[in-house]
Structure 1
Amino acid sequence: MHVDATSYQNWQVEVDAAGLAWVTLDKVGESANSLSSAVMSELSLILDRFDRSAPRGLIFRSGKSAGFIAGADIQEFAQLDTPEKGVELVRRGWQLFNRLAGVTYPTLALVRGHCLGGGLELALACRYLLAVDEPATRMGLPEVLLGIVPGWGGMLRLPQRIGPQAALDLMLTGKTVDARRARQLGLADDCVPLRVMDSAAAVLVLADQPRRQPPLLQRLLNGPLRRLAARAARKQVAKRARVEHYPAPYAIIDIWEKHQGDALAAPELIDRIVRSPTARNLVRVFFMQERLKGFGKGSAWQAQRVHVVGAGVMGGDIAAWCALRGLTVTLQDQGIERIAPALQRAYAAYRQRIKDPRELRNAMDRLIPDPAGHGARSADVVIEAIFENLDAKRALLCQLDTVIRPDAILATNTSSLRIEDLHGVLGNPARLVGIHFFNPVARMPLVEVVAAEGADPEMLRRATAFVKQIDRLPLPVASAPGFLVNAVLGPYMLEAMRAVDEGLAPETVDEAMLAFGMPMGPIELVDMVGLDVAMAAGRSLAGGDAEPPKCLRERFAAGHLGKKSGKGFYDYRKGKPAKGAAGSVPAGLAARLVKPLLDRTQQLVSDGVVADAELADAGVIFGTGFAPFTGGPLNYLRSQNA
């Protein structure tokens, strides 16, 4: 029974008969909670009230089905234009959460769904954290992914709670943890089912027991051995990110090591980070990602069954991903012996992701070998994912057209052929759409949804909704050779191989682009894509040249297909390329290599293959890994010409 209730614009405060205050955040006009200045100001008023009349305990919870708190208001962050505003933003959260951490009564954050950034910093300022055991519950401090630091107490309290090694790993990578892992780490005091969350929260906060401490070694690493932990963290970060490209992770280590996590002690560092081109561009990338997530939203249509034809690396991995996301998937190829390797790969991937044996078994049960192709008749989505051969694809699509449901999506995963060249064999050509995944499927978030001229709008809507349903980012593109992503990669990889033909070592060419900020060099990328795929793309990859580069032709003729065969431009040992020393990189090499990619991206926007420059930047970042700190190829080009 609630004996007292008070409403604010964004918060609801109820004090029950036991004297417990239940404080619910339900940000007005938004589907998800974020910590805007208005929300923070009201929280300060709530704490004022309890300074005057303290409750027996205080429990924070969310009024949103979307989760606890997504973090700070990114729109407000994007508007910071002076050093003073950046420091004031940090000061507001740091002081308010310190005040919350210092109250005399016990406090608890009841976390269901996402609890990220400033949301987790609020939860860390509470004495207890209770996590609800659901797949949607995820906790983390992903500020580094926006090029900024967790300045509202996260750099102080997360290392105190779980030890600096685990805390720095989370803060420096932006990774999140689920409810069970949070309990194992000591981030959450307990992890409970949804049905008992309120009663468990009340019991925990009223018991007011001391929290368990991290192990002694972690406490030492957070104290006298702090420098040791910082040095190890810097070495790990240096393997992934260069300080000139991504200053935020290095700033996190410095602020934790030298200032106990107090960002206000280094205001010049905060200003440099908050208003850096990297932060500005990564925030731009965040909003571009949100735009991609918006495609496919609002559709009532949902797929339940997927049929994939082709159990090679791409087809098998598409099928495995769909099954992992909860769909029933039938996988067809010319015999069970061709399907078995895909099932083995799926099992190995699932074992790394799924710790519960029953969930692992259920995922494998949803991935059904189907050599005869019976699943095509009942599927909501049918995906052709065989090798890149026009005649073979047309024959398969013609066969599928006769057996699948009239309302099913018929899709091709072609990477280089035009949809118009494939759909002429169909009774209803308008139904065929492209749903183009990238390798490796489980790691590449982008999926191109390809529309041929005259495509059925409803099929395109359903295809986009399907991509959204399986937790990928849909990018609408027009049908043209290579669409967006492969069309820009082709000239880029071609120029890299020309440099090899001119006598540069593959390692030197790759190092030039790694120094530019690419996650992988273009020659290693050719190896990963496959030299056979590069050859099959032929004129499309060669940009109209009569022949692919000599270095590609010779290796392909020798049977070296790249990573999948263990040998390409590099030899592969346990899946890793054995590279020699890069040597000195010639001046201007990176600019030379990236220019064809930039030019082609501009051309594709002009040709209408992708709707606008922002979507082109998003597609190239999420489809190729193009250096995110640049904000995308066209944004980078504008910055160079400014």
Structure 2
Amino acid sequence: MKMGLNGYDHWQLAEDADGIVWATLDKAGESTNSLSTAVLQELARMLDRFEAQPPRGLIFRSGKAAGFIAGADIEEFTELDTAEKGIELVARGWHLFNRLARVSYPTLALVRGHCLGGGLELALACRYLLVVDEPATRLGLPEVMLGIVPGWGGMLRLPERIGPQAALDMMLTGKTVDAQKAKRLGLADDLVPPRVMTQAAAMLVVADQARRRPALLQRVLAGPLRQLVARGARRQVARRARPEHYPAPYAIIDLWARHQGNALAAPELIDTIVRSPTARNLVRVFFLQERLKAFAKGSDFSAQRVHIVGAGVMGGDIAAWCALRGLTVTLQDQGIERIAPALQRAYAAWSRRIRDERELRRVRDRLIPDPDGHGVRQADIVIEAIFENVGAKQALLQSLEAVIRPDAVLATNTSSLRLEDLRSVLARPERLIGIHFFNPVSRMPLVEVVNAEGSDAQAIRRAIAFVRQIDRLPLPVRSAPGFLVNAVLGPYMLAAMRAVDEGLAPETVDEAMLAFGMPMGPIELVDMVGLDVAMAAGRSLANPAEEPPRCLLERFAAGQLGKKAGRGFYEYRAGKPAKASPGAVPAGLAERLLQPLLERAQQLVAEGVVADADLADAGIIFGTGFAPFTGGPLNYLRSQYA
């Protein structure tokens, strides 16, 4: 670099010998870059400066190890209490990025790590986008996850760059793409390894060649067939989200189809979206998620090896997920024939996710069948994941304690049993903690980290760090039957099955809760959990004097154990439930089914099983899928009396 360009708090500017200015965003006082008002104001000043004296080229990059730009400053969304403030926020980024897109000199975004929301909108406003080929590089417009729209040019430029169908899929789901897919889609102009990224960025800017236009079909879909694409997108969204619960995806489609992605052309829509209860609650959910992540901050523990005993659905899927996230995993059960189905499931799941054959082979090599349990002595984390039986678990834990390393974390994946009962046979009972995953492991983000009176504090801290290491959300809970999530799900599913006993069709019961906003009905949830698991959990969680629901007993006795058996309350075809029409839903059914869940959640907070109501909301949202637009069950309960 031949000279520095100073005068900014968040940007570091330097001009190299070729006349290219490198603009490095290093937001002051933060570990992650976000586009706050102050950052955008400095960018505007930067463009003013270059308007008078244009550089040969301008390259944006990050000064943070955490990635490129995480998006807009979410804290500022909480201050949008008037329509004018919402419109002002949209206008700020829309006009600034349009100005960036019109500059006469070539511009480039050098993306390494996450590039999300407003960060991707800034990158799209540049003439070129270069991605660094690393696993951490992810690009996306996830605004819909916050109940808002990508109003700073994303709805205009992403469809122009990769075609409307792929762009709408990204914007309507909030999905991100990795560096290789970004290149395949045409989102990125090129894909380079880290060692040559600066040279490649400079060469691309100096060459200043015209970008490749999207294929003719994509241009037709974005032009004459725009309304046809929009109708198809609306149908797809309607299968997943109802407009009264989640208005943002419908607004994205309308703004793209009718206003070329310019949200300022429909200011009334901005106000409806930005200040909606859904947006307010989804922003709340975002901060709840950040609070769960923060439990792992400050820990330097990093697991290398995990040993899991029990290759059933849960144990096998925990093993597969840990291997996918980079850990070496040994999986133990009574013979290779019991481990083989777990390996087959893992290989099939990985093949759907990983295109690179070399990476797929590396992941496969990390999951090691270990019927004799040799890996337990080297493991940093040892997880017991066998069936829910106190005696069987005690015997296994006792044998594991005798051979594991003194500093290893000894954990159980029990879903309903108390740690106090399981650890009573151990020489060092304080070592045992709970690391409770949810089914399906690859999709459920929450993991309960369970402690009991006198639990080893270091083991708890290491377990929390391990959960974040494998990209899951740790929720500390106290040992109690069912902990938090299963303790609230039990009464909810019980109420649903009692309704079936009363003569309501399973489809009707499920429809009541789907209409409320749940991602899955409670009866289908019982099928997914497994009727055998529901029976076992019911025995430990329910009133012993209370008979199980008749509909559950009958199906359990007939061997109809749910989705895994191909039949439970529903018959399953290609993994999907065959449902009849739900018919009319009785008034007040949803409220009746929710009531025991809400009461139990309040009780668990009062008893200290979870530290406070916000954490209870976080756990129930991320552990059950409880309608996120409500902000969580206890937040929903408060809103009913506001």
Q: TM-score normalized by structure 2?
A: 0.99
Q: Hey, what's the Cα distance between the residues in 2 that align with 1:558 and 1:375? A: 39
- Counterpart CA distance in 1 for 2:513 and 2:639 is 18
Residue 205 (structure 1) aligns with: 205
Partner of 2:261: 261
SS of equivalent residue, structure 1 residue 503? coil
The residue that corresponds to 2:137 in the other structure is 137
Aligned AA (1:222): A
Aligned counterpart, 1:468: 468
Say if 2:77 is the partner of 1:49.
Answer: no
Separation of aligned partners in 2, 1:203 and 1:495: 65
Asked if the contact 2:571/2:577 (under 8 Å) is kept, the reply is yes
* SS class of match (1:97): helix
Single out whichever of 545-554 and 378-387 deviates more from structure 2. Answer: 545-554
Question: What is the CA–CA distance in structure 1 between the aligned matches of 2:40 and 2:283, rounded to whole Å?
Answer: 21
Specify the SS of the correspondent of 1:477. Answer: strand
Return closer, same or farther for 1:544/1:275 CA change in 2, 3 Å cut-off: farther
Q: CA deviation at 1:543?
A: 4.4
1:351 aligns with 2:351: yes
Match of 1:311 in 2: 311
* Partner residue, 1:630: 630
Q: Distance in 1 between matches of 2:25 and 2:467?
A: 31
Shift, 1:402, TM fit: 0.8
- 1:495 maps to 495
Alignment pair present for 1:509 and 2:509: yes
Aligned counterpart, 1:28 = 28
- The 5 Å alignment of 1:422-501 reads 422-501=422-501
Q: Which ranges in structure 1 are unaligned for 5 or more consecutive residues?
A: none
- Between the aligned partners of 2:515 and 2:316, the Cα distance in structure 1 is 34
1:319-370 CA distance string (max 9 Å, x none): 1111111111110000000000000000001111111111111111111111
1:72-100 CA-to-partner distances (Å, cap 9, x unmatched) read: 00001111111100000000000000000
4+ runs deviating over 6 angstroms: none
Deviations 1:57-77 (A, max 9, x none): 110111111111000000011
* Structure 1 residue 5, shift from structure 2 partner: 2.8
Instruction: Provide the aligned C-alpha RMSD in A.
Output: 0.8
- Preserved CA contact (<8 Å) 2:490 2:538: no
Partner residue, 2:170:
170
Where does residue 342 of structure 1 map in the other structure? 342
- What per-residue deviation string (whole Å, max 9, x for no partner) do you get for residues 552-589 of structure 1? 00000001100000010000111110001000000000
Q: CA deviation at 1:294?
A: 0.6
| Structure 2 Cα separation of the partners of residues 345 and 393 of structure 1 | 25
Change (3 A) 1:4 1:610: closer
Q: What SS is found at the alignment partner of 2:239?
A: helix
Instruction: Establish whether residue 189 from structure 1 lines up as the match of residue 189 from structure 2.
Output: yes
Q: Secondary structure at the match of 1:403?
A: coil
CA contact (8 A) 1:490 1:543 kept: no
CA distance in 1, matches of 2:232, 2:542: 44
Contact 2:416 2:541 in 1 (8 A): no
Q: Indicate conservation of the 8 Å contact 1:491/1:543, yes or no.
A: no
* Identity, % of aligned positions: 79
Q: What amino acid is the match of 1:74?
A: I
CA contact (8 A) 2:376 2:404 kept: yes
State the Cα distance separating 1:545 from its structure 2 match. Answer: 4.5
Stretch of structure 1 that moved more, 222-231 or 482-491 = 222-231
Distance 2:510 2:463 in 1: 36
Q: Could you tell me whether the CA contact under 8 Å between 1:4 and 1:16 is conserved in 2? A: no
User: Per-residue displacement from partner, 1:222-261 (whole Å, max 9, x unpaired)?
Assistant: 1111101100100000000000000000000001111110
User: What's the offset of the Cα at 1:532?
Assistant: 0.3
1:478 Cα shift?
Answer: 0.1
Task: For residue 240 of structure 1, give the secondary structure of its aligned residue in structure 2.
Answer: coil
Give the residue type in structure 1 aligned to 2:294.
Answer: G
1:297 Cα deviation from its structure 2 partner: 1.8
Q: CA deviation at 1:215?
A: 1.0
State the secondary structure of the residue aligned to 1:341: helix
d(CA) in 2 for partners of 1:284, 1:434: 27
Residue type matched to 1:535 in 2? M
Equivalent residue number for residue 397 of structure 1: 397
**1:305/1:378 contact within 8 Å kept:** yes
| Preserved contact between residue 394 and residue 425 of structure 2 (Cα < 8 Å) | yes
- Is the CA contact 2:323–2:329 (under 8 Å) kept in the aligned structure 1? yes
Residue 123 of structure 2 corresponds to: 123
Aligned-partner Cα distance in 2 for 1:448–1:550: 31
Measure the CA separation in 2 of the matches of 1:14 and 1:467: 40
CA distance in 2, matches of 1:180, 1:446: 28
CA separation of 1:177/1:56 partners in 2, compared to 1, >3 Å: closer, same or farther? same
The answer on whether the counterparts of 2:417 and 2:540 sit within 8 Å (CA) in structure 1 is no
Question: Residues 349-388 of structure 1: matches in 2 within 5 Å?
Answer: 349-388=349-388
Q: Does the Cα contact within 8 Å between 1:494 and 1:541 map onto a contact in 2? A: no
Q: TM-score, normalised by structure 1?
A: 0.99
Unaligned runs of 5+ residues in structure 2 are none
